[in-house]
Amino acid sequence: MRIGLLTTSFPRTADDSAGSFVLGFCRALVRHGHSVEVLAPEPPEPCTPLREPGLVLHHVRYLWPRSLQRTFYGAGAPDNLARDPRAWLGPLPFALALARRARALSARWDAVVSHWALPCALIARAAVPRPLPHLAVLHSADVHALGRVPGRSRLARRITHGAQGLWFVTHQQRARFAALLPAAERALLNARAWVSPMGIELPALELSPLARERARAELGLKGFTVLALGRLVPIKGLDVLIRALAGSDIRLLVAGAGPELDPLRDLARMLRVDARFVGEVSGATKTALLTAADAFVIPSRVLPDGRSEGLPVALLEAMAHGLPVVASAVGGIMEVVPGDGSAGLLVAPDRPGELARALERARGDDAWRSRASRVARDIALRHGWDHAILRGLRVLEGQNSWPDRPPTP
């Protein structure tokens, strides 16, 4: 089966983290014997589109000159639009250009996937001239944006009616989307929608103490070390983490890129926090960091406009490597990290003092970290890609009924 996939984010190179979970989704489809044709925004800088067996990527140009294409990539569309007025030039031209390209290519597709409902799910419904099985994948940013635009109820209805399956990453997002629909339409949503985190590529083997010590030696790590991994943008709350570590000898590794890099570096320097900013990572470097750290910290916050995290893939990746978690109790994080402390410690967002106490507790209790490591890994191993996509595959293959739970692979 040949599947068309419309998205607003996709890795520009093999090492790019932008939309990396969309690439993981595509790779899982290819492993199940399908081929995937991806339509994604053209980046502002020249690059060769990523190509892999079974996968073809088309970059969609939406503004001229190319340097004006500032809506996507980098900090991500929500933060780009918040920071750069020029980014607002792109949304409508991109939607029109994506619709034209989808219409031209869809004759050779057997099914279509839309990642991010705005605008991709709407385009998949309107621009593809013949009826195809359509799976719409909705994330925190587009559900939040949908709730703030004029005509949101009408748009939510079009998305619900235009897709045979709607995949939400968290129960919170599904509830927010359902609230946009008239009561009479919610039964249709219930029949077509489900909730599951995006999948992850599972580590091949359980990590050994020897591998951990080797990784720590290669990175030059001594003492208790925590890792934060993700885009350096306000919603991630890394400034709260740095404030929490003021006066502590806990070492912080920050992996990621974004517009907050310089302010975070300055804050760490001012507060004399032992922080190492390693930039964007992937592959063996990312694995080494996940292997070497003692705990994973995700201090996300709720922004003033109400936007919060969905369910960061980095959280599941860290748990799969056996890292106990210290995290804010926001968004989908609470749907994966149990509130009983068995896999991690949850704290209120934007509370540096509370976060500091949780970090000290994690450092001081070796027995808890050992237990939490095992529980965290067991939770994450349920979310490998080959398991995560089973229900979506049934939609794409035209099977519109399924059991309440997909079979265990």
Residues 235 and 316 in one domain: yes
Pair 27, 202: CB distance under 8 Å: no
Sign of CA dihedral 257, 320, 177, 3: positive
Residues 163 and 214 in one domain: no
pLDDT tens-place string over residues 89-118: 999 999 999 999 999 999 999 999 999 999
The DSSP call for residue 89 is G
Residues 262 and 318 in one domain: yes
The Cα 130–Cα 109 span in angstroms is 10
Residue 310 has pLDDT above 90, yes or no: no
What integer is the mean pLDDT of 146-175?
95
Q: Residue 348: inside a domain, yes or no?
A: yes
Tokens of 225: 């070390």
Band the pLDDT of 208: cuts 50, 70, 90. confident
pLDDT of residue 205: 65
Band the pLDDT of 164: cuts 50, 70, 90. very high
What integer is the mean pLDDT of 157-172?
95
pLDDT tens-place string over residues 220-277: 999 999 999 999 999 999 999 999 999 999 999 999 999 999 999 999 999 999 999 9
Residues 360 and 390 in one domain: no
Q: Residue 407: inside a domain, yes or no?
A: no
pLDDT of residue 14: 75
The Cα 265–Cα 275 span in angstroms is 8
Band the pLDDT of 408: cuts 50, 70, 90. very low
Comparing C-alpha atoms, which of 40, 32, 42 is closest to residue 2?
32
Residues 45 and 184 in one domain: yes
Residue 405 has pLDDT above 80, yes or no: no
How many separate domains does the chain show?
A: 2
CATH number where 26 lies? 3.40.50.2000
What integer is the mean pLDDT of 160-185?
95
Q: Residue 379: inside a domain, yes or no?
A: yes
pLDDT of residue 400: 62
What integer is the mean pLDDT of 295-301?
97
Q: Residue 402: inside a domain, yes or no?
A: no
Residue 407 has pLDDT above 80, yes or no: no
Band the pLDDT of 13: cuts 50, 70, 90. confident
Residues facing residue 111 across a β-bridge: 3
The Cα 195–Cα 175 span in angstroms is 10
Residues 189 and 258 in one domain: no
pLDDT of residue 211: 87
Pair 239, 261: CB distance under 8 Å: no
325: domain range?
209-383
pLDDT of residue 240: 98
What integer is the mean pLDDT of 122-141?
91
Residues 367 and 391 in one domain: no
- pLDDT, the chain, mean: 93
What integer is the mean pLDDT of 165-190?
95
Among residues of the chain, what percentage have pLDDT more than 70? Answer: 97
What integer is the mean pLDDT of 332-360?
96
Comparing C-alpha atoms, which of 163, 131, 160, 132 is closest to residue 146?
160
Cα–Cα separations (whole angstroms), residue 55 to 104, 191, 246, 250: 18, 31, 46, 43
Q: Residue 254: inside a domain, yes or no?
A: yes
What integer is the mean pLDDT of 399-406?
50
Tokens of 76: 């991500």
Pair 83, 259: CB distance under 8 Å: yes
Q: Residue 282: inside a domain, yes or no?
A: yes
Residues 158 and 194 in one domain: yes
Residues 239 and 362 in one domain: yes
What integer is the mean pLDDT of 2-30?
92
Q: Residue 137: inside a domain, yes or no?
A: yes
What integer is the mean pLDDT of 181-200?
94
Tokens of 301: 């916050």
Residues 43 and 178 in one domain: yes
Residues 187 and 231 in one domain: no
Residues 147 and 41 in one domain: yes
Residue 367 has pLDDT above 90, yes or no: yes
pLDDT tens-place string over residues 40-83: 999 999 888 888 999 999 999 999 999 999 999 988 899 999 99
Band the pLDDT of 4: cuts 50, 70, 90. very high
Number of helices and strands in the chain (H, E): 18, 13
* Residue 45: half-sphere exposure toward Cβ, Cα within 13 Å: 5
pLDDT of residue 409: 31
Pairing of strands 2-7, 251-255: unpaired
Q: Residue 403: inside a domain, yes or no?
A: no
pLDDT tens-place string over residues 315-326: 999 999 999 999
Band the pLDDT of 206: cuts 50, 70, 90. low
Pair 120, 98: CB distance under 8 Å: yes
Band the pLDDT of 203: cuts 50, 70, 90. confident
One-letter amino acid identity for 19?
G
